[in-house]
């Protein structure tokens, strides 16, 4: 492939190949390559060239972690002169984490490139959770998106079966939660004590690339000789979660965007915040002293908690690496613009023959508990105790 053609593909996806240092998923090579090539074509068609990279960051694909943006886009600048919802509808999309590849499809609706698991989650979400998810406006399907996804990395026969591992792609159309806001403030909070699927941690091969990644997080996390020998995927994933607030508090702040350009002072970024005090400071920074927004979010979290406790849909699903997106208008002092929605379901899978999950029990290999409600309980406790205005930036 010549350089001009290669440039149109996202980093790490040229010719649909894998990095040599990565362990290949346990699939037949032709099926794996066919899936990756199709995904590469889809991403290339939507996010090609320099303008795409400037708008969305560098889009990367990992056969285990899926799609991500390797560089976060800076928050857009909003003019204080913006005064109409018509003007706000054309404002740039605000993204605060690497859930990437969002494009405005039409006013109030965004397009997202999603795996089959995410499409299935939106399609099967029951009416009693409708107020807690972005509204779903359909999809341009690539393959089967049934709710059976969750077994192995590949299913039996043909490209369509790859959708059951979450690798098949589709464009989904969901609500733009910032639509109509003059000065949107956005926060992404990843939920759960575990941010990886059990199947991701099952590989036993020692990987030097993962040892290198862990060394970059903290050299002290590696045992003598592991840098040279490598570590397993499971060890890397568990150690990675332990370095944030995920493993202990059940949540992790992924990012915050405020239209005034204010930045939160922290060493190592939001993902390295670990204590309740640090998380509370970040939450207060996000709400910016807006008491009405604070109260509206507290009420929304209480409603969400009650809905999830009563939901059979939620009890039958492992909800891993999903986020809560908090949005409000800085110009609004009534709290009416405050919204909290569950997003990012690429690692949400139905467990048709499995146990009913509590979402707050301790995770042990095989029980599929994700700790989602541990994080939600922590979030409610910290939110209700916030010193509103104490850390307004």
Sequence spans of domains, the chain: 199-244
> Dihedrals φ, ψ of 59, to 5°?
-85, 125
Pairing of strands 251-257, 184-191: antiparallel
Q: What angle in degrees, to the nearest 10, is found between the helix axes of 372-384 and 276-287?
A: 70
Among 11-15, 129-133, 170-174, whose mean pLDDT is lowest?
11-15
> Dihedrals φ, ψ of 17, to 5°?
-100, 165
Higher pLDDT, 206 or 143: 206
Sheet with 109-115, strands from edge to edge, namely: 102-106, 109-115, 169-175, 136-140
pLDDT value at residue 17? 36
Model confidence band, residue 392 (pLDDT cutoffs 50, 70, 90): very low
In whole angstroms, give the CA distance from residue 154 to residue 32. 8
Residue 11 has pLDDT above 60, yes or no: no
pLDDT value at residue 324? 98
Give the tens place of pLDDT for each residue, 77-100. 433 333 333 444 455 677 666 555
pLDDT value at residue 40? 59
Q: Taking residues 213-230, report their average pLDDT.
A: 91
Total count of residues recorded for the chain? 393
The count of other CB atoms within 10 Å of the CB of residue 204 is: 8
Q: Taking residues 319-341, report their average pLDDT.
A: 96
- Can you read off the two tokens belonging to residue 30? 């032709």
- 313, 353 contact by CB (below 8 A): no
3-state secondary structure of 383: helix
In whole angstroms, give the CA distance from residue 86 to residue 88. 5
Residue 143 has pLDDT above 90, yes or no: no
Query: Residue 364: beta bridge partners?
Result: none
Among 41-45, 46-50, 70-74, 179-183, whose mean pLDDT is lowest?
70-74
- Can you read off the two tokens belonging to residue 64? 């285990």
How buried is residue 4: exposed, middle or buried, by Cβ count under 10 Å (0-12/13-18/19+)?
Answer: exposed
Integer angstrom CA distances of residue 308 from 46, 144, 339, 391: 35, 27, 17, 31
Give the tens place of pLDDT for each residue, 101-122. 688 899 999 999 999 999 999 9
């Amino acid at each position: 492939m010549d350089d001009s053609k290669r440039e149109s593909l996202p980093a790490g996806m040229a010719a649909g190949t894998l990095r040599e240092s990565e362990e290949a998923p346990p699939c037949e090579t032709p099926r794996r390559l066919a899936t990756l090539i199709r995904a590469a074509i889809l991403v290339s068609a939507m996010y090609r060239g320099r303008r795409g990279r400037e708008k969305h960051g560098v889009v990367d694909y990992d056969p285990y972690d899926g799609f991500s943006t390797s560089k976060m886009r800076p928050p857009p600048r909003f003019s204080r002169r913006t005064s109409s919802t018509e003007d706000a509808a054309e404002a740039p999309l605000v993204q605060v984490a690497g859930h990437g590849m969002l494009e405005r499809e039409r006013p109030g609706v965004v397009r997202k490139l999603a795996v089959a698991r995410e499409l299935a989650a939106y399609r099967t979400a029951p009416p009693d959770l409708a107020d807690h998810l972005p509204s779903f406006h359909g999809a341009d399907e690539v393959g089967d998106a049934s709710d059976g996804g969750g077994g192995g990395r590949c299913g039996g026969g043909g490209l369509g079966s790859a959708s059951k591992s979450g690798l098949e792609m589709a464009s989904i159309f969901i609500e733009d939660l910032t639509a109509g806001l003059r000065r949107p403030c956005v926060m992404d909070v990843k939920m759960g004590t575990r941010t990886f699927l059990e199947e991701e941690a099952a590989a036993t091969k020692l990987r030097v690339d993962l040892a290198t990644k862990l060394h970059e997080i903290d050299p002290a996390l590696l045992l003598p000789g592991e840098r040279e020998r490598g570590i397993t995927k499971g060890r890397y994933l568990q150690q990675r979660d332990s370095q944030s607030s995920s493993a202990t508090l059940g949540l992790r702040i992924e990012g915050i965007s405020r239209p005034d350009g204010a930045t939160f002072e922290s060493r190592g970024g939001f993902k390295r915040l670990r204590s309740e005090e640090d998380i509370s400071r970040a939450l207060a920074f996000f709400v910016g002293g807006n008491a009405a927004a604070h109260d509206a979010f507290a009420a929304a979290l209480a409603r969400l908690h009650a809905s999830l406790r009563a939901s059979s849909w939620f009890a039958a699903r492992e909800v891993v690496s999903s986020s809560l997106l908090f949005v409000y208008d800085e110009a609004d002092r009534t709290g009416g613009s405050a919204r909290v929605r569950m997003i990012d379901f690429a690692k949400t899978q139905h467990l048709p023959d499995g146990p009913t999950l509590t979402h707050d029990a301790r995770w042990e290999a095989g029980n599929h508990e994700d700790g989602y409600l541990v994080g939600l309980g922590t979030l409610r406790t910290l939110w209700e105790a916030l010193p509103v205005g104490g850390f307004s930036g």
